[in-house]
Amino acid sequence: MKIVIIGAVAGGTSAAAKARRNNEEAEIIIFDKDKDISYSGCGLPYYIGKKVKDRIELVPRNAAFFKKKYNVDVFTEHEIIDIDAVGKKLTVKNLITEEVFIQDFDKLVISTGARSVIPNIPGVNRENVLYLRNVQSADRIKTFINENNPKKTVIVGSGFIGLEMTENLKALGIDVTVVELALQVMPPLDKDMTIYIEEYLGKKGVNLVLGDSVAAIEGELPNTKVVLSSGKIIETDFVIMAVGIRPNIEIAQNAGIELGATGAIKANSKMQTNFDYIYACGDCAESYSLITGKNIYRPLGSTANKTGRIVGDSITGGSLEFRGILGTGIFKVFDLVVAYTGLSEKEAIKEGYGVVICYNIKPDKAVYYGGEEMTIKAVADKNTGKLLGVQIVGTSGVDKRIDVFATAITFGAKVEDLFHLDLAYAPPFSTTKDPVMYTGMILDNAINKGRELITPEELKTRIENGEKIKVIDTRVTKQYEVGHVEEAENIPQDKIRKDLENFDKEQITVTYCNKGVTGNAVQNILINNKFKKVYNLSGGFKNYKTQSK
C-alpha cells in the first residue's frame, strides 16, 4: 500500500506516524511546499518576542528525522499542482529544480492546512505589511524588526494571533495599536467577557480601535499611514495583518473533492472524503460540534493532531473515529489568561436553547496562599440542565478549570453534576469548593431550586423599559457608599429580616452583594418568606460595575 500525504505539519505528520505504527509494510510519502515540517505554529509569536530563544525549538524535526524514526520519505519544497482523484495520481513540482513529475497513490491524505486572509485593500502588499502563519513568515517579521528597529505597529485583528502578537511586540518595546472591525476584541467570545480583556489591555498601554476597519495603507517605512474606514489615520512603522485564516482547499476542490457547509473539506467520522480512499485532516478539513452536531470550522493545532492520528489509523484498518469538538481554546496576553469551551451565549441563543447564564467570580486557590480571582461565565440549557459552554478570564488556574469544564461537557454533564466532582484540593491548588463546583451550584440553584439569576444587562434593560423592580444592596453601608447600582436601596443582610413587613412580596425584587454569595443568602430569606419573584444579580456589583463601563 502506497500512502501519499500532502502537507507535513501537525495533521500530515501525525497521520504518517500513526500509519507507520500500525503498518510496517506500507510505503509512506509526504510532500510539502514549505521548507519546514512538523513545527509549532502556536509558538511563533513567542519566537518573535524572544521568549523562545532558538528557532530549532519550534522546528525540532526534519525530513531526516522522519526517515530515520518512521521510515517515511518527506519531500519539502515540493508543491502538488494537480490531483487526479479517479486515476489516483498527483502532479508534483519540485520548487528547487522546477522538475514536474507524476506520483501515484493507493491512499491519499490531504493536509494542506490554511493560509492568512489577505484583505482586498490598497497597500496591503507593501513590504512592511506582514503576516504570521508559518516559521518563514515569523523569520520575516524578526528580520524586519532587527533591520528597521521599528517603534510602533498596527495589528489588524484581535483574535489569538493578534493578541499574542500584541504581548510579544510590546515586550520588544514597540508601541501597539490594535484595530478590530467588531465592537469588541476576540469576537468568538461574548462581549460581556471581552470587557475584562479590553480594560486590562488599556492598563498595559495597548491602543484599541474597535468597530473600525482598514481602508488603505499608504506610504513606505518610516512614513506609513494606516487609513481607517472612519477617516482616522494612524502613523506606523509596520502592520501585522491578523484578520483570520481560510482553508487551503482549491486543489482538492478542483479534483472533485466535496466541500462542507463551512467551506472546508467535508469528511466523515473516519476523515474520508467523497472518495473513500482520499482523506482530509487538519486546518483544511471541517469539524462538527459535539453539542449541536452541526459542521463547524475551528482550526486549532490540537484538532489537527487529533484528526491526523485518526486518518493514520483509518487508512491502516484501525477503529478510531472522529467524535467532534467543542472548540476549546486558550491564550494569554501579558499575564491575563482567556479560555473558552463549548457554546457562547450568543451561539446558544442562535441555536434555539433556552439559556441560563451565571457569572462566578472566585479565587483560583486559597486567598491566603496567593489566590487570584477569575471570572467564569457559564451557559446552560434551562430545559435539560446541561452545561453548554464556559468562558473564563483570569491570571492563574484558568487552564485547569477550562479543561474540567470541557471534560464535563464532552460527557454530557448537567449543572448539578459539577458539585459532585471529586476534585483535588489543597490550599496551594484550589479552594475547598472549587470554582468549577461553585459554578455548578449556582446554575443548579437557578435551574432546579428556584434561585433565579439576572444579568447586569437584563437588569438595566428591564429598568429602562419601565418595570417596577426593587433592588436591594445587601452589603454593609460603607461598601454601598463607595459604589452601588443606581436604583438600589441599601439593606444589609443582618437587617433584612427586620424590614420584611415593609416590603411588597408581589413586587419583583433583585438582591446583590459584591460578587454574589450574600446576595444569594438574602434571596433565600426572601423566597422562604413567600416573596413571589426574587432574582440574584449574577456576579454581584463587581461584575455589574465592569459591565457598566
Catalytic residues: 42
State the DSSP H helix or E strand holding residue 309, giving kind and residue range, or none if neither: helix 301-315
Residue 326 backbone dihedrals phi, psi, to 5 degrees: -100, -10
Strands across the sheet with 453-454, in order?
Answer: 453-454, 534-537, 508-512, 469-473, 488-490
Q: Pull the grid cell for residue 236.
A: 506606523
Q: Report how far residue 280's alpha carbon sits from residue 283's, in angstroms, rounded to the nearest whole number.
A: 9
Q: Pull the grid cell for residue 344.
A: 457562547
Q: b/e per residue, 253-264, with b = 16+ CB within 10 A?
A: eebebebbebeb
Q: Pull the grid cell for residue 300.
A: 486549532
Radius of gyration in angstroms for the set of CA atoms belonging to the chain, rounded to a whole number: 27
Residue 40 backbone dihedrals phi, psi, to 5 degrees: -90, 90
Asked if 194 contacts 185 with a C-beta cutoff of 8 angstroms, the reply is yes
What is the number of other CB atoms lying within 10 angstroms of the CB of residue 501? 8
Asked if 333 contacts 166 with a C-beta cutoff of 8 angstroms, the reply is yes
Q: Report how far residue 329's alpha carbon sits from residue 51's, in angstroms, rounded to the nearest whole number.
A: 21
Asked if 337 contacts 398 with a C-beta cutoff of 8 angstroms, the reply is yes
Which residues, including other chains, have CB under 8 Å from residue 275's CB and lie 6 or more apart? 85, 256, 257
Q: Pull the grid cell for residue 456.
A: 447586569
Q: Report how far residue 27's alpha carbon sits from residue 230's, in angstroms, rounded to the nearest whole number.
A: 57
Asked if 523 contacts 536 with a C-beta cutoff of 8 angstroms, the reply is yes
Sign of the C-alpha dihedral, residues 6, 12, 15, 18? Answer: positive
Residue whose C-alpha cell reads 469528511 in the numeric block: 267
